[in-house]
Amino acid sequence: MGKIAFVFAGQGAQYAGMGQSAYRAFPAAKALMDKAESLREGTLPQCFSAPMEDLSLTVNAQPCLMAVGCACAVALVENGVVPDGLAGFSLGEIAALGMSGIISFEQAFKLVMKRAEFMHACARENPGGMAAVLKLSDEQVEALCEAHGAYPVNYNCPGQVVCAMPEDTMQPFAEAVKAAGGRALPLKVSGAFHSPLMKDAAQKLKDYARTLTFSEPDLPTYANATCGLYTAKEAPALLSMQVDHPVRFTKLIRDMLNAHYTDFIEVGPGTVLSRLIGKIGGADYIGHAEDEDTIKYVISHYREGTAC
């Protein structure tokens, strides 16, 4: 049997009521989410009962998603499903760090609150948007971005690249993609994340990260920007790059496969990463754990050796 990876989803995976059934069913999940509530009052009500309009604000979505993702992870661990390595998509990388031992969950949760604050402010100062480009090669998308003032920022899977750009670039860029034979689907996000438009947020996060004390991680944890492993020394720089550099998810997953990770479990809300990993190909098992039923299913898979 190969190695198990936990992967944590990014902003956009949130939904009303997320985490509630895991909170009720698993003591470890409850304890962790109660800790998040103690660090940031209102986290539990936002996860369990806030309308999507409020939950989707960057300053709310990021800490709430981290709390739920880590809660689902510890629910698996307390039932014997223990990862050999960790990764996350965008925001999910901070959740992975909170599970890795490089910093405590408390430090990581405070870090994610700062990250959300800095990115929210930067998005207001530098208005922009994002669009998923389908049916074109990475090279075609990169050429279109260079020609139209956009940036390829999320390499999701073969044939799917998300691009970020200033607001006034959205329409002409979409028309150029269509003319090239592709599709550009606007995303419901509040900024041009992972692009140079986030430069100020990246610098502020780096400055904040330098005030923290990092240890060498207990579990290998992969970085979005480089696809390499986190170290204590490089953590502040990697956290900064993660905000204004592309998420190279396709390469990251392929590198993990080459490192003998065979099982990928998406922990936290949604199944976006599970679907992307399926499109990248090569995994033996792809699971997701976001509520009581799906967490119990993953547990049973490893206890009983059931097929996926």
Residues 106 and 200 in one domain: yes
Query: Domains in the chain: how many in total?
Result: 2
Nearest to 197 by CA among 260, 146, 243: 243
Q: Which of 186, 209, 225 is the last residue of a domain?
A: 186
Residues 111 and 52 in one domain: yes
Instruction: Indicate the pLDDT class of residue 308, thresholds 50, 70 and 90.
Output: very low
**Distance separating alpha carbons of residues 296 and 303, to the nearest angstrom:** 10
Is the pLDDT confidence value at 242 over 50?
yes
Residue-range definition of the domain harbouring residue 168: 128-186
**Distance separating alpha carbons of residues 91 and 225, to the nearest angstrom:** 12
pLDDT, tens digit, 9 for 90 and up, residues 266-307: 999 999 999 999 999 999 999 999 999 999 999 999 997 654
Q: Quick one: tokens of 221? A: 């944890």
Query: Residue 141 sits in a domain of what CATH number?
Result: 3.30.70.250
Q: Is 191 part of any domain?
A: no
Span 60-88, average pLDDT? 97
Hey, which bits of 124-282 come out as E strands?
128-134, 151-157, 160-166, 183-186, 261-267
According to DSSP, residue 11 is labeled: T
The amino acid occupying position 197 is L
**Predicted local distance difference test score (pLDDT) of residue 38:** 98
Residues 88 and 219 in one domain: yes
> Residues with catalytic annotation?
90, 194
Spatial contact of 267 and 237, defined as CB atoms under 8 Å apart: no
Span 118-137, average pLDDT? 95
pLDDT, tens digit, 9 for 90 and up, residues 186-222: 998 889 999 999 999 999 999 999 999 999 999 999 9
